[in-house]
Amino acid sequence: MTLRIVELTQRFSPALGGVEQHVAHLATELGRAGHSVEIVTSDLSRDRPFTRIGIAPPPAPFPVRRHRAYRLLPAPHGLGILSPGMLIDALTGRADVIHAHAFGYFPTWVGALAGRLGRSKLVITAHSDEGSGTPGSLRYARWVTRGTLRQADRTVAQTEMEATRLRTLGVDPQRIEVIPTPIDLEEFHDLAPSRSPKARPVVLFVGRLYLEQKGLDLLLRALAKLPRDRQPDLRLVGEDWGSRPELERLASHLGVQDRVTITGRLSRPEVLREYASADLFVLPSRFDSFPVVLLEAMAAGLPIIATRVGGIPEVVAEGSTGLLVPPGDVDRLKEAMETALRDDSLRRSLGQAGLRAVDAYSWKRLAPRYIAMFSELARGGVTARTAPRI
């Protein structure tokens, strides 16, 4: 059965981000399986600051329709952005399945409206986290759930923790499917680690430079607490979401500016080289959902230090593939870094365990789960199948 599937996403390549990568890889796998897939998205490159794609996007092996985005409200994280063209596109097109992405973002509202009108089966992949945990954020989450997720024929959670949260918010448990975010392991097959002895070990962070979520100020403070003669070189790789000036000021204030390199946005081959040359990967998030960068670090054979938030403990096995610390605890972060940096055998053991574990997250293993779900819905199914968990 050949399916026609429309993927709705607020941003798409060349915009950077985990959701953008997820949609691109899923669309590729759907095409390889013989299904028709189209991407409906906006012309947005970044939402902090609001920036449109200024150059002709690279060609894709599937249709990509971009519609002009507008900032309606000054809401955080780009939640106040809409695109009327995306709405018209979804309501006038025909698809067996509309697959919308990202909890509370405009594409999920578009998908919910199209689903309410009965034009297509609706799947929403939430890509959600617990957020700040304030009463206001909880009220907002419940409002989003009523307006979007409850309209979906199936809601995809990336972790069991996310699935539990979605049930708490009122999503029908029978319509929740847990499918971890896959990774393109082929990118890493020929990656040659270049971790030769050097003056100082290299600690790597990859992700958006966004203090409120990623906790990079905590990482700088932990670095500064290490004895000067044992401080590693820290490389911060990723797109600036408005935090670079503050990071630079803090590094100078702490006296570690000579140990910190902020690369900004890099090309994909450059990011892979950063993974290959690092000795330790650190993700000090205050909150997070399912950071694909952890899978990438594992695929590169890197030991990991991360915070015990969101779905991270389901990805990083404490003492096996990495070390976990409480969020916001600079002292525990410093201690974990010190432990890993002084013990070469521990880093090798963690890295090798990560290489073995990451195979379970390959697109080859997980794309069929999406395809089976879409096929069942297109045949008229709405309740969840019993599916294996990893």
CA distance 162 to 240: 27
* Contact yes or no for 129/260 (Cβ under 8 A): no
pLDDT tens sequence across 212-222: 899 999 999 99
- pLDDT above 80 (res 383): no
pLDDT of residue 320: 96
Angle at 60 between CA 55 and CA 62, to 5 degrees: 135
CA distance 362 to 296: 11
Q: Where are the beta strands (DSSP E) in the chain?
A: 4-8, 36-42, 44-47, 50-52, 64-67, 70-71, 81-82, 97-101, 121-125, 154-157, 176-178, 202-206, 233-237, 260-264, 280-283, 304-307, 322-325
pLDDT of residue 137: 81
pLDDT of residue 133: 67
* Contact yes or no for 223/339 (Cβ under 8 A): no
CB atoms inside a 10 Å sphere around CB 77: 16
Omega of the bond leading into 227 within 30 degrees of 0 (cis): no
Compute the average pLDDT of residues 71-88: 89
Going by DSSP bridges, is the β-strand pair 304-307/81-82 parallel, antiparallel, or unpaired?
unpaired
pLDDT tens sequence across 298-338: 999 999 999 999 889 999 999 999 999 999 999 999 999 99
pLDDT of residue 382: 54
Compute the average pLDDT of residues 367-384: 86
Tell me which residue has tokens 């979007």.
148
Amino acid at site 387 = A
- pLDDT above 90 (res 194): no
- Residue 309 has which token pair? 């938030």
120 vs 55, higher pLDDT: 120
pLDDT of residue 101: 97
Percent of the chain exceeding pLDDT 70 equals: 96
pLDDT of residue 91: 92
Q: Which of 268, 289, 270, 292 is nearest to 281 (CA)?
A: 292
For the ranges 117-121, 159-163, 182-186, the lowest mean pLDDT is seen at 117-121
pLDDT tens sequence across 242-301: 899 999 999 999 999 999 999 999 999 999 999 999 999 999 999 888 889 999 999 999
- pLDDT above 60 (res 385): no
Q: How confident is the model at residue 389 (pLDDT cuts 50, 70, 90)?
A: very low
pLDDT of residue 190: 84
pLDDT tens sequence across 129-147: 776 667 878 898 999 999 9
Q: Sign of dihedral through CA atoms 23, 26, 31, 32?
A: positive
Compute the average pLDDT of residues 168-176: 96
- pLDDT above 80 (res 390): no
Compute the average pLDDT of residues 63-82: 90
Compute the average pLDDT of residues 36-61: 90
Tell me the angle at which helices 363-378 and 18-32 cross, rounded to the nearest 10 degrees: 70
DSSP class of residue 149 equals G
For the ranges 12-21, 221-230, 273-282, the lowest mean pLDDT is seen at 12-21
Q: How confident is the model at residue 201 (pLDDT cuts 50, 70, 90)?
A: very high
Tell me the angle at which helices 344-357 and 292-299 cross, rounded to the nearest 10 degrees: 110
Q: Which of 386, 370, 385, 366 is nearest to 35 (CA)?
A: 370
The SS3 call for residue 38 is strand
Q: Which of 246, 237, 227 is nearest to 283 (CA)?
A: 237
Compute the average pLDDT of residues 196-218: 90
For the ranges 21-25, 32-36, 289-293, 372-376, the lowest mean pLDDT is seen at 289-293
pLDDT of residue 75: 79
pLDDT of residue 381: 62
Compute the average pLDDT of residues 192-201: 73
CA distance 328 to 73: 30
pLDDT of residue 195: 63
Q: How confident is the model at residue 388 (pLDDT cuts 50, 70, 90)?
A: very low
If phi > 0 it is left, if psi is from -120 to 50 it is alpha, else beta; for residue 56 that is beta
Give a three-class secondary structure readout of 43-104.
Answer: CEEEECCEEECCCCCCCCCCCEEEECCEECCCCHHHCCEECHHHHHHHHHCCCCEEEEECCC
**Domains of the chain: residue spans and CATH:** 4-182+362-378 (3.40.50.2000), 186-360 (3.40.50.2000)
